[in-house]
């Protein structure tokens, strides 16, 4: 695999881990920024999946739809199916709490569950990457 491609894959995972960190910071704020934390959970998952697709030379369109990205990843590696089934539920957080509206931000406990899920997805993808492309 070319060094450029390894760097690109690694870049996606670095950004995914940055989003996990952003979610942690948001949850630690007083008061917690739960809506923003959920956005970062969705983004971490999205970026990990895009890194996996990049590794396998699978083009993807600009999308926040985790179902679309997960389906393509599952075609490449069926063992991701279980965790990606759960991860699809994070899709609405790409926009749901990002703009004014009627939705109340969820409690911190619910966000902690979403963060744990996002961490598992990022780790599952990282475990399937060549060591040279892992952050």
User: What average pLDDT does range 11-37 have in this prediction?
Assistant: 97
Q: Which of 48, 24, 45 is nearest to 36 (CA)?
A: 24
Q: Please, what is the average pLDDT of the chain?
A: 94
Query: What is the model's pLDDT at position 104?
Result: 84
Q: What's the CA gap between 39 and 92, in Å, rounded?
A: 9
Query: What is the model's pLDDT at position 59?
Result: 95
Please determine, for residue 132, whether its predicted confidence score (pLDDT) is greater than 90.
no
Please determine, for residue 128, whether its predicted confidence score (pLDDT) is greater than 90.
yes
Phi, psi of 96 (to 5 degrees): -55, -45
Q: Render 57-126 in DSSP notation, one character per residue.
A: T----S---HHHHHHHHHHH-GGGHHHHHHHGGGGGGGTTTTSSSSPPPPPHHHHHHHHHHHHHHHHHHH
Whether the Cβ atoms of residue 37 and residue 26 lie closer than 8 Å to each other: yes
Query: What is the model's pLDDT at position 123?
Result: 97
- Choice between 102 and 26, residue whose per-residue pLDDT is larger: 26
User: What average pLDDT does range 34-40 have in this prediction?
Assistant: 96
Task: Locate the domains of the chain by residue range.
Answer: 3-133
Query: What is the model's pLDDT at position 99?
Result: 86
Whether the Cβ atoms of residue 129 and residue 9 lie closer than 8 Å to each other: yes
Whether the Cβ atoms of residue 85 and residue 53 lie closer than 8 Å to each other: no
Query: What is the model's pLDDT at position 103?
Result: 80
User: What average pLDDT does range 102-125 have in this prediction?
Assistant: 93
Please determine, for residue 102, whether its predicted confidence score (pLDDT) is greater than 80.
no
Q: Render 1-24 in DSSP notation, one character per residue.
A: --HHHHHHHHHHHHHHHHHHHHHH
| CATH of region 3-133, choose from 3.40.50.1370, 1.10.510.10, 1.20.120.330, 3.40.50.2300 | 1.20.120.330
46-87 pLDDT tens trace: 999 999 999 999 999 999 999 999 999 999 999 999 999 999
Confidence bin at 34 (pLDDT 50/70/90):
very high
């Amino acid at each position: 695999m070319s060094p450029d491609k390894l760097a690109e894959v690694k870049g996606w995972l670095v950004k995914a881990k940055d989003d996990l960190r952003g979610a942690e910071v948001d949850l630690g704020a007083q008061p917690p920024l739960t809506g923003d934390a959920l956005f970062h959970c969705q983004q971490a998952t999205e970026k990990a999946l895009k890194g996996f697709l990049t590794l396998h030379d699978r083009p993807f369109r600009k999308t926040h739809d985790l179902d679309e990205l997960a389906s393509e990843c599952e075609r490449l590696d069926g063992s991701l199916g279980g965790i990606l089934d759960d991860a699809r539920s994070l899709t609405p957080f790409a926009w749901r709490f990002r703009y004014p509206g009627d939705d109340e931000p969820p409690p911190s406990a619910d966000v902690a569950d979403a963060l744990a899920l996002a961490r598992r997805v990022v780790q599952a993808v990282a475990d399937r990457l060549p060591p040279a492309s892992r952050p």
